[in-house]
Amino acid sequence: MSSKELKTREQTDKKYKWNIEAMMPDESVIDKDLEQLKKEALEYGQKYCGHLASSSSALLEALQEKDSIWRKLEKIYVYARMRRDEDNALDKYQGMSDKCHSVIAAVSAAMAFFTPELLSAPEDRILGFLAENSQLKEYQFAIKDTLRQKEHILTEAEENLLAQIGEITSSTNDIFTMLNNADIKFGKIKDEDGDCVQVTHGNYIRFMESSNRQVRKAAYDAMYDSYKALINTIATTYNYNTKTDVITARIRKYPSARSAALSGDNIPAEVYDNLVSVVNGNLPSLHRYTDLRKKLLGVDKLYMYDMYVPLIDSPQKSVSYEEGLDMMREALLPLGAEYIDKMNEGISQGWIDVYENKGKTSGAYSFGSYDSYPYILLNYTDTLKDVFTIIHEMGHSMHSRYTRSNQPYIYGSHSIFTAEVASTVNESLLMEHLLKNANDVEMKKYLLNLHLEEFRTTLFRQTMFAEFEDITHKAIENGQVLTSDWMCGQYEDLNHKYYGSAVERDDIIKYEWARIPHFYNAFYVYKYATGYSAATAISNKILTDSDTAAHDYIKFLKTGESAYPIELLQIAGVDMSTQLPIEKAMDTFNSLLDEFESLV
């Protein structure tokens, strides 16, 4: 596939395309359905506004109707987005997606009264409703969670005002997105073949993985020179984005922006601090790895543009899609026959969209609505890394499959805190399977290096990002303005702390913070690191105590958002309120490093 000219959507074999028709057999009804949902939302407001807490039956009906409207709207929106992702050149589905956004805004406005009105009622009355009406039991956790946040919910008028200015307060994210995806240009470099090529977001990592050091340096310089040229604009954008976080938190009576961000999942502050503390305590292990990288690359000076190039070339050059599926099935056998059967059923039902075509959205994801298959978008290129992508996204999709089969709509999603666990457990099981069955020392070295890089880029790097976010938000809370010089200085110091003296300090890496889109969704990236730690602990348990641990893990997959993430992960045998899972993950990193060092 990769050696051929890129196909159009129509030229792609049906067996490699997802069965999206199963989700929406007749899309001609979508416009009518969207208009009906707007009408239902308006009627909803007229029916329940002012009467929400009049009786337990009124509250139950209001909750059920609210779920019904959102459930139908979600399905249409997800369908439109996925259709758009098949071929972004088609205006039809862009228009359908835009129309969904408009209806979502209208429905949100019509239902804006709900939470303030619920919280304005005496709490003992609402709790009394839960006691007297058994049908409200389904909503008990959601209601109690809303009551938990009562002190941070404003009056109906204030909530309505915040909702109306939401488009303005989120504008910094949109500004950065336009700068980052539309306006910024990274210039051209000479690739390995001497051809002049444009550096893009899409090919940058490929250049960073090039065995040609001059190509790596040229791409690195081209990328960061472009951010340097816009650094004052980006700094101002991020400054106001961070101010918005801080001011919104104050309006909602949170002690800090971080506290506000953690509150939604009811995550104790200690979880964030434990992550940073344990990772900082293990930075000598990362320094040991960078020292080894310098030695194996045989360079007098190691730079940040040397951090992504594989230390060992992959002995397996090509893995077909069908071979990748077989590898996934074998690797996931420790999860039990039921998991494998459900996964195989999903593959045969058409969950997966496999190959790239003209106009198709890049990357990979797992998506779908409560009432659809948990679809997977891939851009498979027949590499071993693509197999890790398949198994990662299948982890998300199987999580959705189990949850939606066992939870009502209101609990049918996952917080990022738990979602990344399901995908990373699968990746960990694949890695262990491949290491166990590696038939030569070169393959083993390649896999160990790949695994170490996952730790570096997920557990260490995302924690560094989390530290940066904490620093910038605390600065704003202390009355400081985030200037470009100050942020570049803070980031450069963090980067040096994490990577150690083996990596030369240059005048470029300090601009890296300016290209991270996740910073515009504050206190988010730490969840990748905690999720990776939890997944490492769970996969180790499954491999050493297969039956019990796998049973507990499947139980966890069924829970959705029916409780807080910390409690849900305890079902799988991991307590993220302690430092232990992160410490165990660091033990694994050190063990892998020991083995890799002994082989090279």
Which of 366, 360, 373, 369 minimizes the C-alpha distance to 393? 366
* Per-residue model confidence (pLDDT) at position 311: 96
Helix/strand/coil for 556 = helix
* Per-residue model confidence (pLDDT) at position 1: 42
* Per-residue model confidence (pLDDT) at position 55: 96
What letter would DSSP give residue 503?
A: B
Which residues on adjacent β-strands are paired with residue 233? none
pLDDT in tens, the chain (600 residues): 444 578 899 999 999 999 999 999 999 999 999 999 999 999 999 999 999 999 999 999 999 999 999 999 999 999 999 999 999 888 899 899 999 989 998 999 899 899 989 999 999 999 999 999 999 999 999 999 999 999 998 887 887 788 778 778 888 988 998 898 888 999 999 999 999 999 988 789 999 999 999 999 999 999 999 999 999 999 999 999 999 999 999 999 999 999 999 999 999 999 999 999 999 999 999 999 999 999 999 999 999 999 999 999 888 779 999 999 999 999 999 999 999 999 999 999 999 999 999 888 888 999 999 999 999 999 999 999 999 999 999 999 999 999 999 999 999 999 989 999 999 999 999 999 999 999 899 999 999 999 999 999 999 999 999 999 999 999 999 999 999 999 999 999 999 999 999 999 999 999 999 999 999 999 999 999 999 999 999 999 999 986 799 999 999 999 999 999 999 999 999 999 999 999 999 999 999 999 999 999
Rounded to whole angstroms, the Cα distance separating 308 from 211 reads: 10
Query: 589 near 285, Cβ under 8 Å?
Result: yes
Give the containing element (helix H, strand E) for 375: strand 375-377
What positions carry a catalytic annotation?
393
Rounded to whole angstroms, the Cα distance separating 443 from 384 reads: 11
Residue with structure tokens 């300016």? 514
Rounded to whole angstroms, the Cα distance separating 492 from 243 reads: 22
Q: What is the 3-state secondary structure (H, E, C) of 104-130?
A: HHHHHHHCCCHHHHHHHCCHHHHHHHH
Rounded to whole angstroms, the Cα distance separating 434 from 443 reads: 9
**pTM (2 decimals)?**
0.90
499: how many CB neighbours lie within 10 A of its CB? 25
Give 14-164's CATH code, choosing from 1.20.140.70, 2.40.50.140, 1.10.420.10, 3.30.230.70.
1.20.140.70
Give the containing element (helix H, strand E) for 528: helix 526-544
Helix/strand/coil for 11 = coil
What token pair was written down for 298? 């045989």
Helix/strand/coil for 188 = strand
Helix/strand/coil for 190 = strand
Which of 79, 66, 4, 5 minimizes the C-alpha distance to 37? 66
**Burial of 50: CB neighbours in 10 Å, binned 0-12, 13-18, 19+:** exposed
Rounded to whole angstroms, the Cα distance separating 426 from 361 reads: 24
Q: Give backbone dihedrals phi and psi of 159, rounded to 5 degrees, phi first.
A: -65, -40
